[in-house]
């Protein structure tokens, strides 16, 4: 699939966190192909530069910011830098988050995962994203629909949707908010999963018999951000090949 016209205004800007890999990188690629300027954020400078290289030839403008989205000062400085480079940032993709296999204390993990979504959204909204603004958070089927063995991952992904519902109830005059919920997605953090014994077992229970690609999630994200979804507000959109329906 090359490009889909979701009705974006060419030159409008989207900020994507976790853009140095996986879902964020692919969303950046598709956003750039859709005519959007991109502000790419990641804690990993190498991955970030790699993404920036890929989109530079297609995006109307590219801004990069190396920083930790759970760090208040980095977020404020990043927004100031992004706004001065790109002007109004109409769209926000709150996507960065640690892998469920990471060993992080529960309280700190919630601060990183949910706290950063709130921090980024507050900073973005304060700058005035303007008419048609929208935010999409990458949550997960984990936590919202199925429990994981890792307590913080389930809790934080479900909490992100709780925050989205707050935004919808109280901030819809400023912007729309939705959650995209990947199932098993083929990104570097799940490298080798499909070929593993556990992976084969899980995949056999997914009606579409494959993992999601990062592109599957990118398109769903861009749709929810776009003018084509202008009356969609507060949805939790599983992109999981039907996996959770069969659980």
**How far apart are the C-alpha atoms of 247 and 245, rounded to whole Å?**
6
Q: How far is the CB of 80 from ligand NAD (least distance, A)?
A: 17
Rounded to 10°, the helix 45-55/22-33 angle is 20
**How far apart are the C-alpha atoms of 44 and 17, rounded to whole Å?**
11
* Residue 209 neighbours by CB under 8 Å, 6+ apart: 203, 241
- By CB under 6 A, name the one of 39, 64, 70, 150 that touches ligand NAD: 70
**Nearer to ligand NAD by C-beta: 120 or 133?**
120
- Whether residue 153 lies in the annotated active site: yes
Q: To 5 degrees, how large is the angle CA 67–CA 14–CA 211?
A: 85
Q: Any contact of residue 220 with ligand NAD (CB under 6 A)?
A: no
Q: What share of the chain is helix, strand, coil (3-state, %, to 5)?
A: 45, 15, 40
Asked if residue 216 lies in contact with residue 181, where contact means CB atoms within 8 angstroms, the answer is: no
- Binding marks (x or -) toward ligand NAD, 188..207, rule CB under 6 A? xxx-----------------
Size of the site for ligand NAD (CB under 6 A): 29
- By CB under 6 A, name the one of 78, 97, 179, 238 that touches ligand NAD: 97
Identify the active-site residue in 91, 153, 163, 170: 153
Q: Any contact of residue 96 with ligand NAD (CB under 6 A)?
A: yes
Residues engaged in binding ligand NAD (CB under 6 A): 17-18, 20-24, 42-44, 47, 68-70, 95-99, 112, 138, 140, 182, 184-185, 187-190
């Amino acid at each position: 699939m090359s490009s889909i016209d979701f009705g974006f205004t060419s030159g409008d800007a989207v900020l994507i966190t976790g853009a140095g890999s996986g879902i964020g990188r692919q969303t950046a690629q598709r956003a750039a192909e859709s005519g959007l300027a991109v502000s790419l954020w990641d804690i990993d400078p190498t991955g970030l530069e790699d993404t920036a290289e890929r989109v530079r030839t297609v995006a109307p403008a590219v801004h990069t910011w190396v920083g930790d989205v759970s760090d208040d000062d980095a977020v404020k400085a990043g927004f100031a830098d992004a706004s001065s480079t790109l002007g109004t940032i109409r769209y926000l993709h709150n996507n960065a988050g640690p892998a469920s296999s990471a060993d992080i204390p529960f309280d700190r993990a919630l601060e990183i995962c949910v706290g950063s979504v709130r921090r980024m959204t507050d900073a973005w909204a304060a700058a005035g994203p303007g008419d048609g603004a929208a935010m999409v958070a990458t949550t997960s089927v984990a936590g919202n629909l199925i429990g994981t063995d890792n307590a913080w991952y389930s809790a934080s992904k479900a909490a992100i949707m709780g925050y989205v519902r707050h935004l919808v109830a109280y901030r819809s005059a400023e912007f729309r908010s939705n959650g995209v919920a990947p199932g098993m997605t083929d990104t570097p953090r799940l490298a080798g999963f499909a070929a593993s014994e556990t992976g084969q077992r899980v995949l056999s229970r997914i009606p579409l018999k494959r993992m999601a690609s990062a592109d599957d999630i990118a398109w769903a994200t861009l749709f929810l951000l776009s003018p084509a979804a202008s009356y969609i507000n507060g949805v939790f959109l599983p992109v999981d090949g039907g996996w959770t329906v069969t659980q």
